[in-house]
Amino acid sequence: MEQTLILIKPDAIQKKLTGIILSRFEALGLEIAAAKAVRATEDLLRKHYANLQGTDFVDGVIKFMMGDYNGLPDHRIYAFVLRGEKAVSRVRAALGATNPEKAEPWTLRGQFGCIKDGIMQNAVHASGSAEDAEREIALWFRPEEVLP
């Protein structure tokens, strides 16, 4: 069984979309293996977004994820480990394109994402590959927090 990390971002939490997002993943037959609410530190986010280091938008992404952008009331992030057959590709298909303006309208990002003041607010992060998932899950969860 493959695992993937999803992070429900502050914009989706503010819009009260958590239930809708989770129900879409459950409809795919994916199991929740771990879940928690997190107030992410800058250090954690820089490690998570290490692939964006050196880009001109990484600081904006981190600021957004910390809730320090556009008046988000706090910087809660809901982190989940989802498990199931081809979990990474199935979650990515349900999310749609990273850029919500290019996402199909029936996908989560197509329905709930936007670009505001140059910052992509795409509701959910999902691991891009099984290798990314392994690295990201280790950043966000201790081994004992993930159900066997």
pLDDT tens, residue by residue, 98-117:
999 999 999 999 999 988 87
Going by the DSSP 8-state scheme, the letter that residue 101 receives in this structure is T
From the list 109, 125, 137, 140, the catalytic residue is 125
Q: What is the pLDDT of residue 70?
A: 55
- In this prediction, residue 68 carries a pLDDT of 63
Residue 125 annotated in active site = yes
Contacts (Cβ under 8 Å, ≥6 apart) of 21: 6, 8, 12, 108, 123, 124
pTM equals 0.90
Bridge-based pairing state of the strands 76-84 and 2-8: antiparallel
Q: What pLDDT is stored for residue 77 in this prediction?
A: 94
Tens digits of pLDDT across the chain (148 residues): 999 999 999 889 989 999 999 999 999 999 999 999 998 889 999 999 888 888 877 887 888 888 765 555 567 899 999 999 999 999 999 999 999 999 999 999 999 998 887 778 899 999 999 999 999 999 999 999 999 9
If phi > 0 it is left, if psi is from -120 to 50 it is alpha, else beta; for residue 96 that is: left
pLDDT at 118: 76
| C-alpha to C-alpha distance for 33 and 37, rounded to whole angstroms | 14
Each domain of the chain, given as residue ranges in start order, spans 2-141
Tokens coding 14: 């503010």
Q: Give the alpha-carbon dihedral of 127, 128, 134, 138, to 10 degrees.
A: -40
CATH superfamily of 2-141: Nucleoside diphosphate kinase-like domain (3.30.70.141)
CB 88 within 8 A of CB 2: yes
pLDDT at residue 73, rounded to an integer: 57
